[in-house]
């Protein structure tokens, strides 16, 4: 289809005065006195009416088409981004709700991690000191979180909001590793507790403070896959008892002998563990459906790009 389009485009150009280089008459080999080299002003490299504006316009259209194709075919991200204003007026710290308990990294793709921006309070110049809030955000244990009492002599400091006239924020990425030595790592299936025990007149206070008066504490629960319990083999049935029978002695005229016959009946039962895998069929169906959907999206995007490129080439005529 594309090849036919370019053939029609070349025929139109030839009909408008642009000579066909394949069918142009050329002088015989060696030349004659009345033959001269073909000197046609239209035999240049570009057709008549060519301008750089059309070329630039075509390049821009192609670039936008490629950008749209890349954005359409890129895998969507499932990571979440949170913004928390760390001040006492934030309703997230209200004691009558559980908004301060946040689940992170839930159902994310591999190597995708949620992020949170902790924004410090900022004020305009001229604000009184007793109206400004300053905080130190600590990462504490569960007991310290519940009691608003920091007992660790060297607690981990997450952020220091001590510049009320400057916009300050701290970004935390909930990943299980950190590129910085001694950085905070967020392991799947664990909870991480942040509190602030500062007051209006004591920034470094570690007991009570606004953690007690304004419930300024938060929990990040890092999602992890459910723990798989090991399967136990089936228990063997108890062995059955062995039965024995004895025949009574049979007297004879001459001698008396004791004839004893003993028969043993034993049964054994074999049990075989049977592992079922019902999820294999579901997984294969999901992969088939996902592959079909991705192929259809790629095909539609490729068709869209071809149409846009063809329209751009038509504008150059």
Domain with 162, as residue range(s), is: 81-222
14-59 per-position pLDDT tens digit: 455 555 444 545 555 454 445 444 444 444 555 555 565 666 567 6
Q: Return per-residue pLDDT of the chain as tens, 317 residues.
A: 544 554 555 555 445 555 544 454 555 545 444 544 444 444 455 555 556 566 656 765 676 667 666 555 555 567 899 999 999 999 999 999 999 999 999 988 888 999 999 999 999 999 999 899 999 999 999 999 999 999 999 999 999 999 999 999 999 999 999 888 878 899 999 999 999 999 999 999 999 999 999 999 999 999 987 765 555 555 566 666 555 555 555 655 544 444 444 444 444 444 444 344 444 333 333 333 344 445 455 556 666 776 677 777 777 66
**For residue 268, what pLDDT is reported?**
42
Q: Would you say residue 104 lies in a domain?
A: yes
172 within a domain of the structure (yes/no):
yes
Query: Is residue 244 left, alpha or beta, with left meaning phi > 0 and alpha meaning psi from -120 to 50?
Result: beta
Contact 1, 309 (CB under 8 A): no
Residue pointed to by tokens 């004879």 = 252
Q: Is residue 231 part of a domain?
A: no
Interval 61-78: pLDDT, tens: 676 667 666 555 555 567
For residue 173, give both structure tokens: 């990425």
Question: What's the predicted TM-score (pTM) here?
Answer: 0.51
Provide the CATH number for the domain around residue 188.
2.60.40.420
Q: Does 112 reside within a domain?
A: yes
Residue 103 lies in a domain: yes
Domain count, the chain: 1
- For residues 3 and 147, what is the distance between their CA atoms, to the nearest angstrom? 76
Burial class, 312, CB count within 10 angstroms (exposed 0-12 / middle 13-18 / buried 19+): middle
Please check whether residue 138 lies inside any domain of the structure. yes
- 139, two tokens: 């990462």
CA-based radius of gyration for the chain = 42
């Amino acid at each position: 289809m594309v090849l036919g389009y370019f053939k029609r485009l070349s025929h139109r150009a030839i009909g408008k005065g642009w000579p066909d280089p394949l069918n142009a008459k050329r002088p015989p080999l060696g030349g004659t006195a009345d033959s001269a080299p073909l000197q046609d002003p239209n035999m240049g490299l570009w057709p008549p009416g060519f301008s750089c504006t059309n070329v630039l316009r075509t390049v821009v259209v192609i670039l936008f088409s490629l950008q749209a194709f890349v954005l359409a075919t890129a895998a969507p991200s499932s990571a979440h981004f949170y913004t928390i204003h760390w001040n006492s007026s934030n309703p997230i710290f209200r004691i009558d709700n559980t908004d301060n308990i946040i689940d992170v990294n839930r159902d994310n793709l591999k190597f995708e991690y949620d992020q949170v921006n902790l924004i410090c309070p900022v004020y305009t110049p001229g604000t009184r000191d007793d109206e400004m809030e300053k905080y130190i955000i600590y990462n504490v244990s569960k007991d310290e979180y519940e009691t608003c009492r920091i007992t660790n002599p060297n607690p981990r400091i997450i952020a220091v909001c001590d510049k009320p006239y400057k916009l300050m924020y701290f970004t935390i990425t909930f990943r299980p590793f950190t590129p910085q030595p001694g950085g905070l790592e967020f392991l799947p299936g664990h909870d991480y507790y942040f509190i602030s025990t500062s007051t209006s007149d004591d920034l470094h206070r570690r007991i009570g403070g606004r953690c007690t008066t304004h419930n300024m504490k938060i929990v990040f629960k890092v999602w992890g896959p459910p723990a798989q319990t090991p399967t136990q083999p089936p228990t063997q049935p108890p062995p059955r008892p062995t039965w024995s029978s004895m025949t009574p002695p049979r007297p004879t005229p001459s001698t008396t002998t004791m004839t004893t016959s003993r028969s043993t009946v034993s049964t054994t039962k074999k049990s075989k563990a049977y592992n079922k895998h019902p999820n294999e069929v579901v997984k294969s169906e999901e992969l088939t459906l996902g592959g079909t959907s991705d192929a259809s999206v790629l095909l539609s995007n490729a068709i869209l790009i071809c149409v846009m490129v063809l329209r751009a080439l038509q504008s150059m005529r």
